[in-house]
Amino acid sequence: MQDLYLFNPDNEISIANGTNGYTPKANISIMASDLAYLSAYLSNKGDYVLVSGIPDVAFIRSREGIFGLDCKPVVWEKAQIITFNELKPWGWSPRVHNLLKDLKKSCNEQFCRGVMAEWSDGRRELYSRRMAAICLAKVLRTVPGIDATIIPRECGSLEAIRCLSEQENIVAKAPWSSSGKGILFIPKGKMTYKEEEVLSGILHKQGYVMVERRLNRVLDFALEFEMDYSFHLNFLGYSVFHTSKRGEYEGNIVAAESRLKEIIAGYIGVEMLDMVREQLALILATEFRGKYTGCFGVDMMIYEDVEGHFRVHPCVEINLRYNMGIVAGRLQRYLSEGSEGIFMIRFSAKPGELLRSIRQNEQDHPLVMTGSKIESGYINLTPVSLDSRFVAEFIVNKE
């Protein structure tokens, strides 16, 4: 039997809502539909990926030829009559558990008896920024040289947040959010009425806000892991990614593992990076043993302190789900030696704009293959029509 993959980018928002009946906003639903095929790059031979509409045959055959994919797109009606090994959504939330409840019956016994087979309200905190702060505090106790002032403070009132904002530049974050959403950058003493409105809404819906000292960010990176059914934690690799000034995800560097480690260690040294990885893995294995199985990532940061030294923030947030860094790691397998790429998600509100730009990029950066590997060029990873608003893109350059 094969697995079924589903791209659901609303995972943390759904968990924050906490109900089975949560309906994603229109733009999130459009993203889920436009990027549904992205999960194919996580799949193995013979797996299925759930889509709202079957992509064009030419697109599927082309990506099968380039990436060696052997994954079958399937619509909901067809999925209901197939037997699966496991269900593998982007992330598990109350909404997805409810959505896939009828498909669980056709999965193998190991999956049905596993910790991820059912949702409980007790799981909610595992996905919160409070959990990330707990893990961060434990890393600080085991790894010397990390500044203790980076630990977030939990605020349950607008007054508490305002008090902190009067002391320094802060970043206020919703307990459950992702990809740079639910984050406010507030300069010292300059909290606006609009920001107070947003924060009041978060406090009302989620109960508290995590507040951090704003750091001079230099590099965003992550460590990717997988917890198997025996609760053994496996390290999948590093990811280095780009974010906007507001912290929103922009794209990942796709390169050999040694190259990504070289980029990160160039700021803090190999010894510190290895120590953070080893100690964090021990902490994560303890915190999530018996509670979670599957892939996840820990976002980190290199920042410059007031004295001009580069320092590491070893646990900005924990994403208990698949993430773009894991996709980037899978894409690296298809690169020829010496090639590096950028994997990104792009949005356009204008009908037809993505389709036109893709055709132009294909002309400007024609795909060059060396055997079965990509040497250079541009390729859209997800299908695009005149109505598409989102696309996953991959552009590769030879050194």
Residue pLDDT, tens place only, 156-204: 999 999 999 999 999 999 999 877 778 999 999 999 999 999 999 999 9
Give residue 1's pLDDT.
74
pLDDT score recorded for residue 20: 80
How high is the pLDDT of residue 246?
A: 79
The pLDDT assigned to 199 comes to: 96
Q: What does the pLDDT average to over 92-97?
A: 95
- Predicted local distance difference test score (pLDDT) of residue 245: 80
Q: Which residues contact 176 (CB under 8 A, 6 or more apart)?
A: 12, 13, 15, 16, 124, 127, 128, 129, 182, 206
Mean pLDDT of 83-94: 96
Mean pLDDT, range 214-228, rounded to an integer: 97
Average pLDDT value over all residues in the chain? 95
Average pLDDT estimate for 114-118? 94
- Whole-prediction pTM: 0.95
Q: Which residue is listed with tokens 């759930």?
A: 50
Summarised one tens digit per residue, pLDDT across range 236-271 is 999 999 988 877 889 999 999 999 999 999 999 999
Q: In three state form, how does the secondary structure of the chain look?
A: CEEEEECCCCHHHHHHHCCCCCCCCHHHHHHHHHCHHHHHHHCCCCCEEECCCCCCHHHHHHHHHHHCCCCEEECHHHHCCCCEEEEEECCCCHHHHHHCHHHHCCCCHHHHCCCCCCCCHHHHHHHCHHHHHHHHHHHHHHCCCCCHHHCCEEECCHHHHHHHHCCCCEEEECCCCCCCCCEEEECCCCCCHHHHHHHHHHHHHHCCEEEEECCEEEEEEEEEEEECCCCCEEEEEEEEEEECCCCCEEEEEECCHHHHHHHHHHHHCHHHHHHHHHHHHHHHHHHHCCCCCEEEEEEEEEEECCCCCEEEEEEEEEECCCCHHHHHHHHHCCECCCEEEEEEEEECCCCCHHHHHHHHHHHHCCCEEECCEEEEEEEECCCCCCCCCEEEEEEEEEC
At 182 the pLDDT is 86
Q: What is the percent of the chain where pLDDT is above 90? A: 92
pLDDT above 70 as % of the chain:
99
The confidence score (pLDDT) of residue 145 equals: 92
User: pLDDT tier at 293 (50, 70, 90 boundaries)?
Assistant: very high
pLDDT at residue 352 in the model: 95
Segment 363-384 shows an average pLDDT of 96
Mean pLDDT confidence for 196-218: 95
Which pLDDT score, from 0 to 100, does residue 53 have?
Answer: 93
Give the tens place of pLDDT for each residue, 308-350.
999 999 999 999 999 999 999 999 999 999 999 999 999 999 9
On the question of pLDDT at 375 being above 90, the answer is yes
pLDDT for res 398: 84
Whether the predicted pLDDT of 399 surpasses 90: no
Residue 93 has pLDDT above 90, yes or no: yes
